[in-house]
Amino acid sequence: MMRFAVIGAGGLGGFFGGLLANGGHEVHFVVRGRTLAALLDTGLSITGGFRAHLDRVEATDDARTIGHVDVVLVTVKAGQLPDIATQLPPLVGPQTIVLTMQNGVEAPDTVAEVVGREHVVPCVVRIFTQLEEPGRISHHGGAGSVTFGAWDNVETPLIEATRAAFEGVGISAPEPPDIWVDLWTKAMFIIPTGALGTLSGQPMGEVRTALRDELSACIAEIEAIARARGVRLPPDAVERTLAFVDEQPADATTSLQRDLMHGRASELDSQAGAVVRLGRQVGVPTPRHDLMYAVLSLRERAARG
């Protein structure tokens, strides 16, 4: 049995934490407000391809009451990381690992500034879960996967044990040859499709056909940043990403599109905004992301009032 702390209990945190707790691991949720009340009052339920119900859930809004754990799962959206920074240090002992599960590429660095790079394990999540209401999570589609690896790509016994814990509850957790390649490969897919889909108001099928040249150019901007940062992407990374886009359902939309459409807080800043910032850091021009980020920032502010 391993000791986990899960920061957040939304679609990802509630799903992974619930499955791990149901599988016999000690799991503590760090949440607040309505989510904390729901977990303490009615427990946690997962429906869909995976099913679990926990009548009793360990949850708190103060990580200091938990103490050191083996593994911290940071599952809040990237924009919420500054809000939870003070909750991390009380959980992190000398050997603790902290999995960053956010979309985008800045989260590992952001969390490393708080707990130290030696504790941070970058993570790429490929699964579709949804928060129906506090304490109620639905799972859709296939089993999905959670891919993670040490900052320096050197496997440790604790990372191996964490991998086994996920596998033990039915979640594929492959060991990547290079986690940074996985992280940037996902970014090359989600950031351009999200931004172009939101700007155009069109689903994946239209974006990849009517806007294919722009899509390719946007992917290439991110590829150039990754290479400038030393990420060893394959030579045909752009072509592979386009091929992956072509495999997606034509009517698919992104979480960024859905969030901005409904006036919810989005990951615009941690996606397109990150491309702009990181491009400037390494001297890579990002004219398309500069424009998309500026326009969509106006739309986000208008949508949220």
How is residue 65 annotated by DSSP? G
Q: What is the pLDDT of residue 273?
A: 97
Q: In what order do the strands lie in the sheet with 92-100?
A: 52-54, 44-48, 136-148, 120-133, 92-100, 69-74, 3-7, 26-30, 58-60
Tell me the pLDDT tens digit for each residue of 197-255: 999 999 999 999 999 999 999 999 999 999 999 999 999 999 999 999 999 999 998 88
**What is the rounded CA–CA span in Å between residue 221 and residue 192?**
10
CATH 1.10.1040.10 assigned to 180-303:
yes
The one-character DSSP state at 176 is P
Q: Is the pLDDT of residue 24 over 80?
A: yes
pLDDT 10s digits, 100-123: 999 989 999 999 999 999 999 999
CB 169 within 8 A of CB 135: no
Cα 172 to Cα 158: distance, rounded to the nearest angstrom = 17
User: Looking at per-residue confidence, does 214 or 141 come out higher?
Assistant: 214
- Burial of residue 193 (number of CB atoms within 10 Å: 0-12, 13-18, 19+): buried
Q: Within 10 A of 159 (CB to CB), how many other CB atoms are there?
A: 19
Question: Which CATH number does 3-176 carry?
Answer: 3.40.50.720
At 305, the pLDDT band (50, 70, 90 cuts) reads: low
Q: What is the pLDDT of residue 92?
A: 98
Q: Can you give the pLDDT at residue 300?
A: 85
pLDDT at residue 261 in the model: 82
Structure tokens, 276? 């702009």
User: Can you give the residue ranges of every domain in the chain?
Assistant: 3-176, 180-303
pLDDT at 134: 96
Structure tokens at 64: 């200091």
Across the strands, what pairs with 140? 128
Q: Residue 301 — very low, low, confident or very high, per pLDDT cuts 50/70/90?
A: confident
